[in-house]
């Protein structure tokens, strides 16, 4: 029997498995496809593999719902930290060092209530990327603001007038190898509204790395006026805060909730 926990970060939901139950060499890609299926399995946007090395040191491996392995997830890492926090029986504020395929990330966890934590994640440097293969097929207006960025994983951010009017699924399937975010200004001067088509998962309620890339791009375009260096990112699943240039120039920090949903026992 394998025990999983399910969590979500602003509706972006994940299954978490402590690999000490199974071993690192299990067929994780196939299990991710099986378990994340919303009709034939439990249902989730991805499977997070958790290894607890010490009281404050963790390792995260992420498989998307299609089985592909992703370098990083801003919502996922908060869910993983909450899973460790619960498994360790922690109380009060805890700082974790989390090893990911995108490098080491610092995560600070603060309990809110019996099922919710607020977590801040030092997401590292936002860096430019070459445009993805197939970008021309999108047919974007050449004067439309576009940035191709890495937040440990690849993103394309596009500024639009109205995110609700865009056929995001059609556009996202044309460049499935990256995460595609569409953003519009506001409604507050220090906020943007974002929708996302995620690599390996499709349209999701929220994306943490996407929120970081979008806030960064919007600030460069003067689409948003950060308040004390912070940008609010409105997504379908709720709001996250992105702190720009923290702890130093070019770095971003993501702040948002993680919510415990359930514990699941699987006979495998």
Query: Measured in Å, how far apart are the chain's first and last C-alpha atoms?
Result: 6
Q: Which two tokens stand for residue 225?
A: 């006026």
Domains of the chain, start order: 2-122+256-266 (3.10.310.10), 127-255 (3.10.310.10)
pLDDT in tens, the chain (268 residues): 999 999 999 999 999 999 999 877 899 999 999 999 999 999 999 999 999 999 999 999 999 999 999 999 999 999 999 999 999 999 999 999 999 999 999 999 999 999 999 999 999 999 999 999 999 888 888 889 999 999 999 999 999 999 999 999 999 999 999 999 999 999 999 999 999 999 999 999 999 999 999 999 999 999 999 999 999 999 999 999 999 999 899 999 999 999 999 999 998 7
Token pair 């994780």 in the structure block, residue: 28
Q: Which pLDDT score, from 0 to 100, does residue 137 have?
A: 86
Residue 199 CA: distances (Å) to CA of 71, 80, 85, 169, 210: 11, 19, 28, 11, 11
Q: Which two tokens stand for residue 57?
A: 């040191």
3-state secondary structure of 156: strand
CA 213 – CA 210 distance, rounded (Å)? 5
DSSP state of 45: S
CA 181 – CA 154 distance, rounded (Å)? 11
Question: Which residues, in sequence order, are CB contacts of 223 under 8 Å at separation 6+?
Answer: 145, 159, 183, 185, 192, 217
The pTM of this model reads 0.96
CA 149 – CA 151 distance, rounded (Å)? 7
Q: Which of 145, 197, 133 is nearest to 171 (CA)?
A: 197
Q: Which pLDDT score, from 0 to 100, does residue 261 have?
A: 98
Whether residue 247 is preceded by a cis peptide bond, meaning omega within 30 degrees of 0, is: yes
Q: Which pLDDT score, from 0 to 100, does residue 268 have?
A: 73
């Amino acid at each position: 029997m394998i025990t999983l926990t399910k969590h979500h970060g602003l509706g972006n939901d994940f299954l978490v498995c402590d690999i000490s139950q199974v071993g690192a060499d299990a067929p994780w890609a196939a299990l991710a496809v099986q378990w994340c299926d919303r009709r034939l399995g439990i249902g989730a946007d991805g499977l997070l593999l958790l290894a607890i090395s010490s009281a404050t040191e963790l390792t995260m491996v992420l498989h998307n719902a299609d089985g592909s392995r992703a370098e990083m997830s801003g919502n996922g890492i908060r869910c993983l930290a909450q899973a460790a926090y619960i498994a360790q029986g922690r109380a009060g504020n805890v700082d974790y060092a989390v090893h990911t395929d995108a490098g080491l990330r610092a995560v600070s966890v603060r309990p809110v209530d019996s099922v919710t934590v607020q977590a801040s994640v030092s997401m590292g440097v936002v860096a430019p990327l070459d445009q993805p293969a197939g970008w021309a097929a999108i047919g974007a207006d050449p004067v439309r603001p576009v940035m191709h960025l890495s937040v440990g994983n690849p993103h394309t951010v596009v500024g639009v007038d109205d995110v609700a009017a865009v056929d995001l699924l059609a556009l996202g399937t044309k460049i499935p190898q990256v995460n595609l975010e569409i953003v519009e200004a506001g409604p507050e001067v220090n906020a943007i509204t974002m929708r996302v088509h995620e690599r390996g998962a499709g349209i999701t309620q929220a994306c943490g790395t996407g929120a970081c890339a979008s806030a960064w791009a919007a600030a460069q375009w003067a689409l948003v006026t950060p308040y004390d260096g912070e940008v609010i990112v409105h997504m379908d699943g709720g709001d996250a805060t992105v702190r720009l240039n923290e702890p130093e120039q070019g770095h971003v920090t993501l702040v948002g909730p993680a919510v415990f949903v359930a514990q699941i026992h699987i006979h495998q």
